[in-house]
Amino acid sequence: MSETIINRRQIQWFPGHMAKTLRLMEKEIRNVDCVLQILDARIPLSSLNPEIERITAGKPHLYVLNKADLADPDITRRWLDYFRSAGAGCLPMDSRQSGKAHAVRGPIEKELAELMQRRRAKGMAGAAIRVMVVGIPNVGKSTFINSFAGAARAKAANKPGVTRGKQWISVGGYDLLDMPGVLWKKFDSLETAANLAFIGSIRDDILDVEELACGLLSSVRGIYPKRLLERYKLGQQALELPPCELLLAIGVKRGMLISGGEVDSERAARMLVGEFRASKWGRISLEQPPQPTPTQEEDADAGQNI
Ligand SMILES: Nc1nc2c(ncn2[C@@H]2O[C@H](COP(=O)(O)OP(=O)(O)OP(=O)(O)O)[C@@H](O)[C@H]2O)c(=O)[nH]1
Ligand SMILES: [Mg+2]
């Protein structure tokens, strides 16, 4: 993966307002009963923010694999197993469906059973459950809250950085705290950075769109080669091309030429990234759960067969 996906000019995916959000989170965490970390179902690990993990570690935690409608359903099932086998509450979600977010009520109330029991004993059974909704930018936190509320109570739009301050939204015995999206300072790998860029969590204006498109092609052709060939009516041999030549071949197929017959590679790149994000390539997961490591018994069994 190229290092230039994030424009060399200025690596500014962690602007001042994100540091401010982390400080706000540190303060507000004391005022909530539990945390919902919204992940992107297409990249559950790349979208899991280690800073959020650190700040929210002391509170009951539930993971929501949002935009599951865009992800490969088989891989999402494997991710659910992965989180659950690690003892973490986790459920898939399409937050664009009004009311669907109510699916978190059961798992939250199970997680908070003791707290609710204590409240009942004190005659405070009616007290609202306070939930902090956190995650990376553009992952769908505000849309999730709107789905829970059954109405457009929080501002949501398809670009990172829409929510700028905290907002409490009260609905049906719950107080939900909407927070601005936040990334972290140092990504552990270029792959993580690229995945976050592909799904639109890093502002596009600091990204090089052609590098972004080439990176996306490089990633997707390894996992879903047929989808690309079918969508852009390419022959099998196109898969042998380096990603940036594949981008040009797609530009030619789409008639995106400039004077002199050259391909308008920037336009082709924008089209590609836009089509991926709009799910025109079908339901795609860019990340798969790590393979389970064999247990010691399995190792021993395997040893007996040698
Ligand atoms: N397909 C699909 N789109 C979703 C889903 N949830 C949210 N979206 C879309 O994702 C975009 C971002 O949604 P927001 O709710 O504004 O995201 P956010 O996490 O609040 O973003 P910031 O406030 O910028 O951090 C919008 O275009 C939503 O319609 C989902 O489950 N499926
Ligand atoms: Mg928001």
CATH code: domain of residue 160: 3.40.50.300
Ligand 1 site: residues with CB under 6 angstroms? 66-67, 69-70, 93-96, 135, 137-143, 156-158, 160-163, 180-181
For ligand 1, atom 7, which residue shows the shortest CA distance? 140
Residue 222 has a pLDDT of 93
pLDDT of residue 234: 96
Query: Ligand 1: which atom is nearest the Cα of residue 146?
Result: 15
In a domain, 140, yes or no: yes
CA dist., res. 79 & res. 42, Å (int) = 10
Q: Are residues 69 and 172 in the same domain?
A: yes
Mean pLDDT over 169-180 rounds to 97
Higher pLDDT, 80 or 14: 80
The pLDDT of residue 15? 81
pLDDT over 70 (residue 306): no
* Lowest model confidence (mean pLDDT) among 186-190, 283-287, 297-301: 297-301
Same domain, 104 and 227: no
Q: What pLDDT sits at residue 304? A: 40
Give pLDDT, residue 4.
56
Q: What is the mean pLDDT of residues 176-192?
A: 93
Tokens of 147: 């789905």
Tens of pLDDT, residues 264-291: 999 999 999 999 999 999 999 999 998 7
Query: Is the domain of 30 the same as that of 157?
Result: yes
Model confidence at 173, in pLDDT bands (50, 70, 90)?
very high
pLDDT of residue 2: 45
Work out the percent of the chain whose per-residue pLDDT is above 70: 91
**Residue found by looking up tokens 């393979």 in the block:** 291
Please report the sign of the dihedral spanned by the C-alpha atoms of residue 272, residue 41, residue 64, residue 74.
positive
Same domain, 48 and 94: yes
Same domain, 21 and 163: yes
Distance 188 CA to ligand 1 centre (A): 24
Q: What is the DSSP letter of 132?
A: E
Residue bearing the CA closest to ligand 1, atom 3: 67
Kindly report the CA angle at 207 between 206 and 211, in degrees rounded to 5?
A: 160
Q: Would you say residue 258 lies in a domain? A: yes
Q: Are 52 and 25 in contact (CB under 8 A)?
A: yes
If we measure between CA atoms, which residue out of 61, 175, 89, 166 comes closest to residue 129?
175
Give the mean pLDDT of 80-96.
Answer: 97
**Of the given ranges (184-188, 234-238, 273-277, 283-287), which has the lowest mean pLDDT?**
184-188
The reply to whether 25 and 165 lie within a common domain is yes
- Ligand number with the minimum distance to the CA of 160: 1
Q: How far is the CA of 5 from the centre of ligand 1 (A)?
A: 23
Confidence (pTM): 0.92
- Residue 137, domain member (yes or no): yes
Ligand 1 centre distance from Cα of residue 100 (Å): 14
Residues 115 and 244 in one domain: no
Residue 79 lies in a domain: yes
Answer whether residue 232 is part of any domain: yes
- 76/218 same-domain check: no
Q: At residue 69, does pLDDT exceed 90? A: yes
Into how many domains does the chain fold? 2
CA distance 247 to 218: 10
Same domain, 90 and 229: no
The CA distance from 291 to 286, in Å, is 15
Q: Which ligand is nearest to the CA of 283?
A: 1
- 144 and 242 share one domain: no
Does residue 241 form part of some domain? yes
Please state, for a pLDDT cut of 90, what percent of the chain lies above it: 84
CATH number at residue 224: 1.10.1580.10
State the pLDDT confidence band at 1, using cuts at 50, 70 and 90: very low
8 is a domain residue:
no
Q: What is the pLDDT of residue 186?
A: 87
224: containing domain = 209-277
Higher pLDDT, 12 or 11: 12
Mean pLDDT score across all residues of the chain: 92
State residue 293's pLDDT score.
Answer: 56
Residue 113 has pLDDT above 70, yes or no: yes
What distance in Å separates the CA atoms of residue 181 and residue 200, rounded to the nearest whole number? 12
Which ligand minimizes its atom distance to the CA of 162? 1
* Residue 71, domain member (yes or no): yes
Same domain, 31 and 165: yes
> Region 84-94: what's the mean pLDDT?
96
Both 234 and 166 in one domain: the answer is: no
Picking from 160, 178, 196, the residue at the C-terminal end of a domain is: 178
